[in-house]
Amino acid sequence: MNQHIYQRRPVSNSAIPSVIFGLLVANGLVFAAQQMQPNMMAYYFALWPLGSPRPEFQVWQLLSYGFMHGGLNHIFFNMFGLWMFGRDIENVLGSKRFLIYYLTCVVGAAIVQLTVAWMQGGIYPTVGASGGVFGLLLAYAMFFPNRTVMLLFPPIPMKAKYFVLGYGLLELYLGVSGRSPGVANFAHLGGMFFGFILLHRWRSSRRS
């Protein structure tokens, strides 16, 4: 996607744009609530499969699960990814569209995860902002394909388009092979897929 399709609109002079700041705070508050009431939070707000016995799936879980996390490492890396890749995307899309995009990716990831859980017959909860973060990764590669990003492990510089393509293929491999039990690999891919569909729709509407 060519960057000129969207008008760059600086939304803040801060290192943390307004929507990202709000999402960071919201995730932090929900994580704190999880530490105080872990069973209650998981019961009502984690993403439970369709047709599961108590706890049951509720429609608000399509969003609420994306603000919950399974531990400090989980929330740290997701929030780091939200901040690192989301800042430029919020500046490109503007605050309103950025929030719509991020939440669409979260819900899209949930829909894919529910489908996979239904096909597998599994009864397990899903939590985490990874679907939204993977949607941001996809947007970053589409807006800034040749920008260099640095891998953490190992620390290798790589163009964004290759980084995201490789990450997506790895998630697909891990999901199909089952080599990363406990990780919602298809939900990550779902966030990327729904993000791509939304960006394509916005691009088409601007050209028409």
Domain that holds residue 132: 3-207
Position 92 scores a pLDDT of: 93
Position 5 scores a pLDDT of: 44
Catalytic residues: 130, 188
Residue 3 pLDDT more than 50?
no
CATH of the domain at 138: 1.20.1540.10
Residue 149 pLDDT more than 80?
yes
Structure confidence by residue, pLDDT tens digits, 94-129: 999 999 999 999 999 999 999 998 888 777 899 999
Structure confidence by residue, pLDDT tens digits, 58-100: 999 999 999 999 999 999 999 999 999 999 999 999 999 999 9
Find how far residue 52's CA is from the centre of its chain: 24
CB-based burial, 34-68: b 16+ in 10 Å, e otherwise: beeeeeebbeebbbbbeeeeebebeeebbebbbbb
- Specify the DSSP element, H or E, that contains 150: strand 148-150
Domains held by the chain: number: 1
Q: Nearest 5°: phi and psi at 120?
A: -85, -15
List 157's β-bridge partners, or say none. Answer: 150
Position 119 scores a pLDDT of: 87
Q: Taking residues 151-156, what's their average pLDDT? A: 73
Position 6 scores a pLDDT of: 53
